[in-house]
Amino acid sequence: MNISWYGHSCFKIQTKAKRGGEDVVIITDPFDKSIGLRRPQGQANIVTVSHNHNDHNDTELLKGDFFVADSPGEFSIQGVTIEGISSFHDNKEGLDRGRNTIFVFETEDLRVCHLGDLGHELTEDQIDAIGDVDILMIPIGGTYTLDAKGAKKVVGQIEPKIIIPMHYKIDGLTIELDDETEFCNELGTTIKDKLSRISLKKKDLEDVENKVMLMNVFNL
């Protein structure tokens, strides 16, 4: 599995869901030009939209006959199993910012969880639905989502092997968010190098727990 980051909550996940098969490309939460970053583009097979805000739902530049998952439910697309889990964009049961869908992908014996714009700690039902997680994509920038302290609590609830922060302040982003510093401090982690791409197999994660991996924005 190869993971690249366009910035904000948008990732490109390339996976061979079937042994010997062609790559399946998953794009999460594509954003529009208003947030100041270069928009995601290229071929996609699956696109997930955690909620219907312009910085998470713009599929205009994506190419291909792709399937859009934008609600809770269970889906199986080209060998990738997807579960959408209902949650909220705030800690007031959606009163301020509405609903949010958490997406869990299963492919290559790996379980990847993208929390979208989660704004609250998880319930027991949500934790059970998410299950064991190899790779967790979690918002950490506060203001509109979990902040550093809240994200740390959710990490403790899920206990993933790999943690990939998202939805935080980076160069060019016009949305006011906190950067990654406080979250890394909360987890007692020092990151020397950011990665342009993450390549992982199940066997790579046998002895890994709560490892934070920061990414550079993918150059289109």
Question: Which CATH number is 184's domain given?
Answer: 3.60.15.10
Q: Which residues pair with 20 in a beta bridge?
A: none
78 part of a folded domain: yes
Number of structural domains (the chain) is 1
Reported as type and span, the H/E element at residue 202 is: none
| pTM for this prediction | 0.96
| Ramachandran region, residue 96 (left: φ > 0; alpha: ψ -120 to 50; beta: rest) | alpha
- DSSP 3-state of 205: helix
For the cut 70, the answer to whether the pLDDT of residue 220 exceeds it is no
How buried is residue 209: exposed, middle or buried, by Cβ count under 10 Å (0-12/13-18/19+)?
Answer: exposed
> Do residues 96 and 83 touch, judged by C-beta distance below 8 A?
no
57 part of a folded domain: yes
What lies within 8 Å, CB to CB, of 193 at 6+ separation is none
Give per-residue pLDDT as tens, 120-147. Answer: 999 999 999 999 999 999 999 999 999 9
Query: Which is nearest to 177 in space by CA: 218, 149, 144, 129?
Result: 144
32 part of a folded domain: yes
For the cut 80, the answer to whether the pLDDT of residue 219 exceeds it is no
For the cut 90, the answer to whether the pLDDT of residue 79 exceeds it is yes
Q: Please give the average per-residue pLDDT across 171-189, as a whole number.
A: 96
Grade residue 81 by pLDDT with cuts at 50, 70 and 90. Answer: very high
d(CA 156, CA 164): 14
**181: which 2 tokens?**
């510093």
Question: Within 10 Å of residue 93's Cβ, how many Cβ atoms?
Answer: 11
Give per-residue pLDDT as tens, 150-176. Answer: 999 999 999 999 999 999 999 999 999
* Residue range(s) defining the domain that contains residue 82: 2-212
104 part of a folded domain: yes
At position 161, the amino acid (one-letter code) is K
Give per-residue pLDDT as tens, 90-123. Answer: 899 889 888 999 999 999 999 999 999 999 999 9
218 part of a folded domain: no
For the cut 70, the answer to whether the pLDDT of residue 38 exceeds it is yes
Beta-carbon-side half-sphere exposure of residue 73 (alpha carbons within 13 Å)? 9
220 part of a folded domain: no
What lies within 8 Å, CB to CB, of 16 at 6+ separation is 22, 23, 24, 108
**218: which 2 tokens?**
């993918």
194 part of a folded domain: yes
